[in-house]
Amino acid sequence: MASNFWDSTHVNQWILDSSVLAAARERELDFVSSKDAVYVSLYYSNAIQKICRRLQVRQQVIGTALVYWKRFFAKNAYFDIDPLLVGGTAIYVACKIEECPHHIRNVVNESRNCLGADLFPYDAATIADFEFYFLEELEFSLIVFHPYRPLQQLLARLNLTKPCLQTAWYIVNDTYKTDIPLMYPPHLIALSAIFVVAAIVDSNNQPQAMLPAVGDEQPSVVAVVTTFFSELNIDIRDILCITQHLLDSYHIWQGYIESAIPYILARFPRQSAGPTKQKLPILQSHSVAPQQRSGQVQQSHQTGHLHQGPTYRPGQTSWSQTTQPRSSAGTQQGSQRNWK
């Protein structure tokens, strides 16, 4: 495990340029708008967060799972494979990496309880099988550095009040639902959270920073943060870019309606033949007439359940495979697979 961020695979392999992320979304933008793509990402991010909360894991585990999920889809489109299968696998791997292990059956059960068996039809064997391909897509780079520790250290150094820490913590949590963790180092994200919270706290006339008063006046949070930023050896344009990205995301999220997600997902194509990547289990094609398919989406909208569309069915992948039930000893009989 790398103890130095600057020597880690996080900074050397997984700080991506915005053009790389834009290229990853090009295939999806042929079917949906850029705003709808943000809504889809937000929906699945919220689903991962809900499952993690049912598992009662630390916020750092949630952040790691979300980063894994976004790294995977920096290489793949949302319609290449079921994002919920990727999300369940990301949670399972994140729990192990962050030393908060949960049994794979526990992850599967909580995912089904949270999302429903219709949206998450996968079993432990499916997650275990897919884990190898998930790790390969992540290039086996599993160490993720988070902004939480530098955030706490910086706020302690500035002697800011507790409300500042709580608000800044929430802002950092929100960044994991965007592409910010894929584009910027964690210490810049922490500084951006402080930059934003200083304006929020000062505009709301919250308690001032707990610093020695100069005469009869106590410095405001904005004054303290402004002085602190002027002494830092960083490019302030990075802080402004992160802040603008976050504010743009907040603006788009205001129009988010979860019940509209089925209609957005219905625009994605159904895979008809052959995998887009032989090493990935692709989404299976449903031979459903357009009228019947639209009826399924409408019914899902009325009942409040998301119509998943094409799904990766357990035991049926893009490889040539025939599967028999597993024996009690855990071996799989009559299985013929070509994993190439």
Q: Which two tokens stand for residue 338?
A: 């070509």
- The bridge status of strand 336-337 relative to strand 321-322 is antiparallel
Structure confidence at residue 25 (pLDDT): 87
Structure confidence at residue 2 (pLDDT): 55
* Distance, CA of 152 to CA of 193 (rounded, Å): 11
pLDDT in single tens digits along all 340 residues of the chain = 457 888 788 888 888 888 888 888 888 898 999 999 999 999 999 999 999 999 999 999 999 999 999 999 998 989 889 999 999 999 999 999 998 889 999 999 999 999 988 899 999 999 999 999 999 999 898 899 999 999 999 998 888 766 688 899 999 999 999 999 999 999 999 999 999 998 887 665 554 444 444 444 566 788 888 888 888 888 889 999 999 999 999 999 999 999 999 999 999 887 433 334 444 444 433 333 333 433 433 343 333 333 333 344 444 433 333 333 333 333 333 333 333 3
Same fold, 17-137 and 148-253: yes
| Residues near 51 by beta carbon (within 8 Å), at least 6 away in sequence | 87, 88, 91, 107, 110, 111, 114, 115
* Distance, CA of 209 to CA of 165 (rounded, Å): 11
Q: Which fold has domain 148-253?
A: Cyclin A; domain 1 (1.10.472)
Chain position carrying tokens 């706490």 = 152
Task: Annotate 13-38 with DSSP letters as a single string.
Answer: HS---HHHHHHHTHHHHTTS-HHHHH
Q: Cβ(243)–Cβ(199) under 8 Å?
A: no
pTM: 0.76
Domain chopping of the chain, boundaries: 17-137, 148-253
Q: Which two tokens stand for residue 286?
A: 């449903």
* Distance, CA of 326 to CA of 213 (rounded, Å): 71
Task: Annotate 75-124 with DSSP letters as a single string.
Answer: TS-TTTS-HHHHHHHHHHHHHHHTT----HHHHHHHHHHHH-TTT----H
Structure confidence at residue 137 (pLDDT): 92
Structure confidence at residue 162 (pLDDT): 66
Amino acid identity of 246? L
Q: Cβ(294)–Cβ(266) under 8 Å?
A: yes
Say which CATH architecture domain 17-137 belongs to: Orthogonal Bundle (1.10)
